[in-house]
């Protein structure tokens, strides 16, 4: 039996959830308006995944007496996990990594402004692959110790 792929977690569509991290890395170059647009893309990704997981839960539990609670739990779990693991924590992390890199470069080098901006962007982009798994694992742990204890049986 072959398991079906999760469009939002097992395909390149998953990268839409990282749009805001890329936006944060480019913040010094593209400006606040475009960074906000990348948060919009990531949020749409989160909402699409949440919708799909809710539909899947409804199909899986439709004949169970407590299907509403199970669907609500699955939907809430997906939404909270995605908002934390795909948008809020990674966006904040890359924002702070870039701010720190900019501060260090300003204080310790005489790089021209445009070179410094490009360097900060490169640092932010390079940090993204290193933060994904630890953040995902921390959010899993957080939800396992809180919300997921309320999961309907």
pLDDT per residue over 126-137, tens digit each?
999 999 999 999
**Is position 132 within any domain?**
yes
pLDDT at 35 > cutoff 60 = yes
The pTM of this model reads 0.91
Cα–chain center distance at 143: 15
pLDDT per residue over 65-80, tens digit each?
999 999 999 999 999 9
Tally of domains within the chain: 1
Among residues 70, 78, 72, 85, the alpha carbon closest in space to that of 53 is found at: 78
Query: What range does the domain containing 139 cover?
Result: 12-150
């Amino acid at each position: 039996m072959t398991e079906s792929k999760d469009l939002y977690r097992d395909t390149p569509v998953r990268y839409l959830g990282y749009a805001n991290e890329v936006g944060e890395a480019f913040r010094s170059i593209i400006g606040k308006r475009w960074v906000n647009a990348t948060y919009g893309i990531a949020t749409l990704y989160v909402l699409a995944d949440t919708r799909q997981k809710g539909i899947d839960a409804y199909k899986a539990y439709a004949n169970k007496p407590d299907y509403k609670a199970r669907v609500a739990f699955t939907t809430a779990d997906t939404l909270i996990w995605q908002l934390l693991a795909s948008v809020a924590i990674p966006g904040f992390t890359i924002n702070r990594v870039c701010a720190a890199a900019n501060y260090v470069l300003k204080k310790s080098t005489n790089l021209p402004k445009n070179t410094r901006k490009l360097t900060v962007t490169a640092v932010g982009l390079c940090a993204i692959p290193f933060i994904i798994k630890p953040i995902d694992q921390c959010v899993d742990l957080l939800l396992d110790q809180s919300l997921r204890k309320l999961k309907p049986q």
